[in-house]
């Protein structure tokens, strides 16, 4: 057991590093694109990105989780995973085919209503969603095998290969929005180069046994709760540009996306910390006893203090030179107002704190309550952002994100302080429940 704990700790640390690096590369991808594209072209790229990631979260994440759970269970029993892989491949194929048929049937609405009437962007959108079907299949397989170091490498290869397209435009090898957009479709396929390493390895992983001596697996309700949390994150972070695009056009969507990167960029890096935090908390929660409970609370308190300190530093920096720094990072094609940046900075701090409490809630067996909080905040955010209560759509998104982050923090803090554990939802260190949560965090970094 000690060696197993150390092994999972090492894999969490490796995955954390990969997730953090992937987040940085994603930030640079958009920084270069914003510098080298006109506002409308950049906004169209942002809308494409947001549409792709909302779609793949809905379509591919459940299949990814199914593969992860199926492979882990058969490995733990010492059984072949061949039948599981074949069944999952069939399901993924059906999902991909269903999407392709639906996309063709709705081509007019997607191409004209969402993608500025651009045929090339439409085909990149379709190709990207289909390419991510293979990527999410690989992610599920790697997570099920417990190969989180390879999962981290997959995310880095994906982000680096996508960045290469933006870099090519920056240095003059290629030109225009389409050249950068192609990278969104190509990157998930390039990332698959790590998969043969998983098949070449003979290493096997088992979940910790329960008292009955059989492996303990997470309930389907835990997996569903993690999916709701992940989908709600996509709504809060990627829904804004899509809503602004519908209200004010592509250029405005690009503007609000850059503003939200003030919140998203720290979150992408923080996902790496969260991946290490979750197994640490689950081990403490599984240990029980006064010392473990005290260490659990101390871990949360220290992380929240670090988040508060970081947010305070960012707020002071934004107040002093926020608009100038945003133009330095993303180019001078947009004018950024200081109040809006400060609103998003406050939202960022609350959002990072809420994410910390979300990890605590998962470790405490509060997955369903946490998912309800996330889902409610996402729905309220969508309703507020869609209603024309403020004429400025970007300001609506900024205020909506702040309100949603504040409400989410309050709800999750209440759950953390007043846990009502559901036995099957308490993850054991190294269990499938922990795998589900770590895989969802890794997905967010992409």
User: Tens digit of pLDDT for each residue in 320-346?
Assistant: 999 999 999 998 888 999 999 999 999
**Does residue 425 have a pLDDT over 70?**
no
- When pLDDT is cut at 50, 70 and 90, the band that residue 1 belongs to is very low
Residue 246 inside a domain? The answer is yes
- What is the per-residue DSSP string for 29-62? HHHHHHHHS-HHHHHHHHHHHHHHHHHHHHHTHH
Whether 235 is in a domain gets the answer yes
Contact (Cβ atoms closer than 8 angstroms) between residue 374 and residue 233: yes
Q: What is the pLDDT of residue 221?
A: 73
Residue 83, in any domain of the structure:
yes
Res 200: pLDDT: 67
Residues 6+ apart with CB under 8 A from 106: none
Number of domains in the chain: 1
Instruction: Determine, yes or no, domain membership for 212.
Output: no
pLDDT at position 223 is 73
pLDDT over 90 percentage in the chain = 49
- The per-residue pLDDT for 44 is 95
Say if 227 falls within a structural domain: yes
Q: Is residue 70 part of a domain?
A: yes
Q: Would you call 179 exposed, middle or buried from its count of C-beta atoms within 10 A (0-12, 13-18, 19+)?
A: middle
Specify if 417 maps to a domain.
yes
Give the pLDDT confidence score for residue 213 in this predicted structure: 42
Is the separation of the CB atoms in 410 and 361 below 8 Å? no
Measured distance between the N- and C-terminal CA atoms of the chain, rounded to whole angstroms: 32
Question: Higher confidence at residue 433 or residue 57?
Answer: 57
Which domain covers residue 160, as residue numbers? 2-207+217-445
- Three-state secondary structure string covering 58-95: HHCHHHHHHHHHHHHHHHHCCCCCHHHHHHHHHHHHHH
Alpha-carbon torsion angle 51, 57, 63, 66, nearest 10:
180
Q: pLDDT (tens digit, 9 = 90+) per residue, 123-174?
A: 999 999 999 999 999 988 888 887 888 888 999 999 999 999 999 999 999 9
272 pLDDT higher than 90 = no
* Residue 437 confidence class, pLDDT cut points 50, 70, 90: low
pLDDT value at position 353? 94
pLDDT of residue 286: 66
Mean pLDDT, to the nearest integer, of 360-368? 85
Check residue 434 and give its pLDDT.
63
Q: What is the pLDDT of residues 164-223, one digit of tens each?
A: 999 999 999 999 999 999 999 999 999 999 888 876 664 444 444 444 444 444 456 777
Between residues 120 and 61, the one the model is more confident about: 120
């Amino acid at each position: 057991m000690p060696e197993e704990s150390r092994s999972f700790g090492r894999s969490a640390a490796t995955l954390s590093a990969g997730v953090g690096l992937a987040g940085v590369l994603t930030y640079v991808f958009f920084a270069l694109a914003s510098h080298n594209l006109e506002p409308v072209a950049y906004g169209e790229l942002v809308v494409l990105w947001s549409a792709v990631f909302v779609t793949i979260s809905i379509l591919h994440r459940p299949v990814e989780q199914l593969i992860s759970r199926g492979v882990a269970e058969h490995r733990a029993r010492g059984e072949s995973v061949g039948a599981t892989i074949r069944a999952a491949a069939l399901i993924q194929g059906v999902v991909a085919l269903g999407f392709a048929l639906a996309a063709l049937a709705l081509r007019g609405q997607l191409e004209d209503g969402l993608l500025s009437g651009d045929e090339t962007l439409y085909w990149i959108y379709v190709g990207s969603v289909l390419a991510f079907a293979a990527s999410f299949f690989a992610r599920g397989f790697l997570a099920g095998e417990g190969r989180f170091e390879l999962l981290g490498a997959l995310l880095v290869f994906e982000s680096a290969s996508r960045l290469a397209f933006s870099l090519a435009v920056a240095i003059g090898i290629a030109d225009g929005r389409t050249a950068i957009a192609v990278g969104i479709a190509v990157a998930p396929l390039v990332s698959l180069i790590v998969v043969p390493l998983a098949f070449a390895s003979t290493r096997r992983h088992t979940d910790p046994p329960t008292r009955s001596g059989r492996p303990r697996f997470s309930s389907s309700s835990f997996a569903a709760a993690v999916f709701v949390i992940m989908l709600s994150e996509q709504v809060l972070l990627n829904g804004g540009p899509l809503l602004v695009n519908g209200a004010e056009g592509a250029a405005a969507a690009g503007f609000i996306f850059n503003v939200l990167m003030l919140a998203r960029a720290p979150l992408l890096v923080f996902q790496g910390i969260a991946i290490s935090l979750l197994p640490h908390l689950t081990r403490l929660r599984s240990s029980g006893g006064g010392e473990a409970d005290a260490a659990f609370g101390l871990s949360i308190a220290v992380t929240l203090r670090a988040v508060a300190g970081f947010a305070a530093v960012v707020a002071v920096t934004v107040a002093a030179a926020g608009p100038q720094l945003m133009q330095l990072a993303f180019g001078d094609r947009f004018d950024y107002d200081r109040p809006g940046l400060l609103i998003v900075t406050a939202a960022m701090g609350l959002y990072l704190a809420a994410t910390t409490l979300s990890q605590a809630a998962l470790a405490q067996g509060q997955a369903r309550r946490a998912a309800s909080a996330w889902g409610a905040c996402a729905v309220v955010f969508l309703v507020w952002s869609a209603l024309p209560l403020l004429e400025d759509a970007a300001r609506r998104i900024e205020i909506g994100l702040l309100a949603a982050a504040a409400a989410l923090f309050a709800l999750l803090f209440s759950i953390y302080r007043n846990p009502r554990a559901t036995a099957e939802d308490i993850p054991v260190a190294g269990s499938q429940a922990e795998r589900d949560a770590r895989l969802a965090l890794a997905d967010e970094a992409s």
